[in-house]
Amino acid sequence: MVNLASLNPQQRHAVETTEGPVLILAGAGTGKTRVITCRIAHLVAKGVSPGDILAVTFTNKASREMQERVRTMLPRPRRDGDAPPERPTISTFHSLCVRILRLHIEKLGYKRNFTIYSDGEQMSAMKKVLSSIKIGAEKTDAREMLSLLSRIKNSKDGQISGDPNLIALAQHLRIKYESSLRACNAVDFDDLLLLTLRLFKEHPESLEACREKYRYVMVDEYQDTNAAQFQLVHSITSEHRNFCVVGDDDQSIYGWRGAEVANLLDLEKFYPEVKVVKLEQNYRSTNVILRAANAVIKNNPRRRPKQLWSKQGDGLLIQLHTFKDDEEEARVIAEEIEANRTMRGIPWNEQAILFRTNIQARPLEMALRKEGIRYHLIGGQGFFDRREIKDFISYLKAFLNPHDDISLLRIANTPARGLSDVTMERLLAASSERKCSVYSALKNPLVQISFQERTRESIMAFQKLLETNHNALQQEEGTLRLNDWADQLMGKIGYYEEIRRSEKEAAAADSRIRNLKEMMVDLEPSDYYAPTPAERLTYYLEQITLDADRSEEKEVAENAVTLITMHSCKGLEFPHAFVVGLEEGLLPHSRSKVEGTLDEERRLFYVALTRAMKTLTLSYCLGRRKYGQPTPAHPSQFLKELPPECIEDADAKAKKPVDVGTGKSLFANMRSAING
């Protein structure tokens, strides 16, 4: 039985309300994950079959954590001959859709071995489209178009606000882009959702099967769902109505990616009988921190009011620093972190620095290194962005699905095998003329004949390479081990040599080869078995495209300071947090003014504040290096929203330990700095 006694009354209420729609408004640090896992366990204890439960998360990390916690809470499988009990389905939106699509996508005219395009591959595909339609002198940014397209695709009715000209262009590009992906038997992240919705619409029996299977549906971080995601869960739950969402409108910080807080705020529109449970008791922070956070977020209109409180007492005042420039800021923060460690026994891994933009990490990194402090920078350029890794993945993808043009073009002449840019350009043209993939084009004798003999030989050799490996992967019998196969292959095609040749430093080449070999070690999935290597490889590739930062998590156990953006810190907590660069233009970001997203910037600040458990240190600079130039800076308007009694001037404190007038003079200083 679930230990309900360990829950507070609100949590308990949330857990015990099992039937019908429920909205759990879970403020920061209120034990949200605990409530979800307990609720699942409670459902099972009440007799619901675990297999009937679906819990959807946004990140793979959250999904893994939840799986693990649910596993320990559910009754152990019995040893006698009973069939092992089904597990609840706990997955991200995207994994869930992949799972559905791998079974049914043929009904939508794709082949089952479809490829999922990552960000970079989407970019390449969009660039390909852009270059093929030759837009006049106007510069069209593939990135911008993709994000616009994504917003259109994920919106309710394909309508979004913005420059009508750009939107019209995006609508036009959508058609080209989609048919281009389709010819490659490829889908992008958004398509995973949209195709699943289309499947439900065009093949109602598949929706019916989902409704039948997932009788209890829960969604975590509900404030981050977009229109398509809402449609998906709504279509599954609109009949049985066992729909439980957990979220916090105050922590909605992904509006710019199409998240619709309205899904949470207006839930009653679709579920008028919804029961709302508020979790306001915070188990993370001191009351000083919570009072400050409450006061800031209160300035946002249109929210579901919440007041966080905790039993942990007031705690220490929030420290506010004013620095001359970003260099001084970095230096002093680094010194303080080190002082915390040596004088107060606070290890590095209990301290974190939070900032708005990634570039801010730079001076911080330098200062930390100078102090000899180990740190861990979250985000930034990942493992999978390295050239050799991308090449390798492209090889794997091209062998599985040779019609994947983007991967094929990437590897065609890497290493050089006589397929020059001109050749590939002509093949590409032939493919779009024939409305087929590049692979189909280069296999076509009519196309081959148009090339010179030497080139033709190269094309045919390349085609043979693809075909041979594609076929090898389909073999059911035999003992093809993916890691050995991949290693031999990279050797055979001369990829290792290519790396050694192109890198002047032998050490750099070795490190890149090491990266590759490191990847190959994991090629045979340990948690998944399928008879054909192709299926196992597909599974592997899905894991890494849908869960790109999985490999970055090993270092967390290390004793190091965390450097992190305010966006990626959501869901985390740190005993001692430093929030830096609280300046107009950074937070709120200058672009938020033109885009009218001040509320979201405030929520971002709120998220940052509520990460701190014991101490919170804020800082802003009077000047900051911007693009190399020193530029004047002004304190963030959000600082004025902090209750004066919660903060103290850290700089004055250092000089004069106690001063009654500190708070006032601090604000006077700040005001004059703002007006200055």
Residues with a catalytic annotation lie at 32-33, 220-221, 251, 611
Task: Decide whether 74 or 378 has the Cβ nearer to DNA.
Answer: 378
Q: Residue count at the site for DNA (CB under 7 A)? A: 44
What is the three-class DSSP state of 144? Answer: helix
Among 592, 615, 619, 636, binds DNA (CB under 7 A): 592
Among 17, 67, 543, 568, binds DNA (CB under 7 A): 568
Question: 542 vs 649, which CB is nearer to DNA?
Answer: 542
CA distance 126 to 252: 29
Residue 471: Cβ-neighbour burial (10 angstroms; 0-12, 13-18, 19+):
exposed
Tell me how far apart the alpha carbons of residues 607 and 603 are, in angstroms, rounded to a whole number: 6
Q: How far is the CB of 118 from DNA (least distance, A)?
A: 8
Whole-number minimum distance, CB 586 to DNA, in Å? 9
Q: Examine residue 415 and say whether the peptide bond preceding it is cis (omega within 30 degrees of 0).
A: yes
Q: Which is nearer to DNA, 94 or 611 (CB)?
A: 94
CB closer to DNA out of 275 and 567 = 567
- State the nearest-atom distance from the C-beta of 313 to DNA, in Å: 32
Distance CA 182, CA 194 (A): 14
Of 42, 94, 306, 603, the one binding DNA (CB under 7 A) is 94
- Verify binding: residue 322, DNA, rule CB under 7 A: no
> Of these, 81, 136, 272, 628, which contacts DNA (CB under 7 A)?
628
**Which part of the chain contacts DNA (CB under 7 A), choosing from 291-299, 308-316, 318-326, 563-571?**
563-571
Q: How far apart are CA 449 and CA 442, in angstroms?
A: 10
CA angle, residues 446, 447, 450, in degrees to nearest 5: 95
Starting at the edge strand that comes first in sequence, how are the strands of the sheet with 612-621 ordered?
375-377, 561-565, 351-355, 574-579, 612-621, 318-323, 647-649
356 binds DNA (CB under 7 A): yes
CA distance 327 to 332: 9
546 interacts with DNA by CB under 7 A: yes
Q: Which is nearer to DNA, 169 or 646 (CB)?
A: 169
Region binding DNA by CB under 7 A among candidate stretches 29-37, 440-448, 541-549, 630-638: 541-549
CB of 658 to DNA, least distance (A): 39
3-class SS string, 426-474: HHHHHHHHCCCCHHHHHHCHHHHCCCCHHHHHHHHHHHHHHHHHHHHHH
d(CA 351, CA 369): 15
Orientation angle between helical segments 9-16 and 32-45, nearest 10 degrees: 40
Q: Binding marks (x or -) toward DNA, 186..205, rule CB under 7 A?
A: ---x----------------
Closest-CA residue to 338 (of 378, 376, 368, 377): 368
Q: How far is the CB of 378 from DNA (least distance, A)?
A: 8
The answer to whether residue 379 forms part of the interface with DNA (CB under 7 A) is yes
Region 131-150 residues binding DNA, contact defined as CB under 7 A: 139
User: Toward DNA, which CB reaches closer, 383 or 667?
Assistant: 383
In terms of CB distance, is 359 or 622 closer to DNA? 359
By CB under 7 A, tell whether 221 contacts DNA.
yes
Closest by Cα among 194, 259, 187, 69 to 546: 187
Pick one of 627, 657, 658, 672: the residue that binds DNA (CB under 7 A).
627
Helices (H) and strands (E) in the chain, counts: 29, 17
The CA distance from 616 to 351, in Å, is 10
Residue 156 or residue 671: which is nearer to DNA going by CB? 156
Near DNA by CB under 7 A, which window of 16-24, 309-317, 320-328, 355-363? 355-363
- Residue 493 Cβ vs DNA, minimum distance, rounded to whole Å: 15
How far apart are the C-alpha atoms of 501 and 100, rounded to whole Å?
44
- The answer to whether the beta carbons of residues 136 and 108 sit under 8 Å apart is no
Q: Which helix (H) or strand (E) holds 612?
A: strand 612-621
Out of 8, 358, 515, 532, name the contact with DNA by CB under 7 A: 358
492 or 593: whose CB is closer to DNA? 593
By the rule CB under 7 A, 82 interacts with DNA:
no
Residue 124 interacting with DNA (CB under 7 A): no
Nearest to 670 by CA among 570, 554, 584: 584
Minimum CB separation of residue 603 from DNA in Å reads 11
The interface mask with DNA, positions 31-70, x = CB under 7 A, is ---------------------------xxxx---------
Pick one of 30, 282, 310, 597: the residue that binds DNA (CB under 7 A): 597
User: Does 565 sit near DNA (CB under 7 A)?
Assistant: yes
Distance CA 400, CA 537 (A): 8
Coil, strand or helix at 282: coil
- Helix or strand or coil: residue 611? coil
Q: Is 583 in the site for DNA (CB under 7 A)?
A: no
Q: Is 386 in the site for DNA (CB under 7 A)?
A: no
- Of residues 242-301, those binding DNA (CB under 7 A): 254, 256-257, 259
475 lies in the binding site for DNA (CB under 7 A): no
For DNA, the closer CB: 281 or 551: 551
Q: Which of 166, 416, 556, 668 binds DNA (CB under 7 A)?
A: 416
How much of the chain is helix, strand and coil, in % rounded to 5? Answer: 55, 15, 30
> Is position 548 an interface residue for DNA (rule: CB under 7 A)?
yes
595 forms part of the interface with DNA (CB under 7 A): yes
What's the maximum distance between 2 C-alpha atoms anywhere in the chain? 89
H or E element that contains 590: helix 590-595
Q: 321 and 618 in contact (C-beta within 8 Å)?
A: yes
Q: Of the ranges 86-94, 158-166, 175-183, 346-354, which one interacts with DNA (CB under 7 A)? A: 86-94
Dist CA 359 CA 272 (whole Å): 45
- In DSSP notation, 183-213 reads HTTEE-HHHHHHHHHHHHHH-HHHHHHHHHH
CB of 66 to DNA, least distance (A): 13
Residues forming beta bridges with residue 355, ordered by sequence position = 565
Query: Tokens in use for 650?
Result: 């850290």
Structure tokens given for 325: 């420039």
The residue among 605, 505, 507 whose CA lies nearest residue 250 is 605
- With CB under 7 A as the contact rule, the residue among 171, 357, 450, 665 that binds DNA is 357
Supply the minimum distance, in Å, between the C-beta of residue 247 and DNA.
Answer: 10
Rounded least distance, CB 536 to DNA, Å: 20
In the bound complex, what is the minimum distance in angstroms from residue 292's beta carbon to DNA? 22
What is the DSSP-derived secondary structure letter of residue 309? B
Task: Return residues touching DNA (CB under 7 A).
Answer: 58-61, 92-95, 119, 127, 139, 189, 221, 224, 254, 256-257, 259, 356-359, 379, 413, 416, 420-422, 502, 546-549, 565, 567-568, 589, 591-592, 595, 597, 601, 627-628
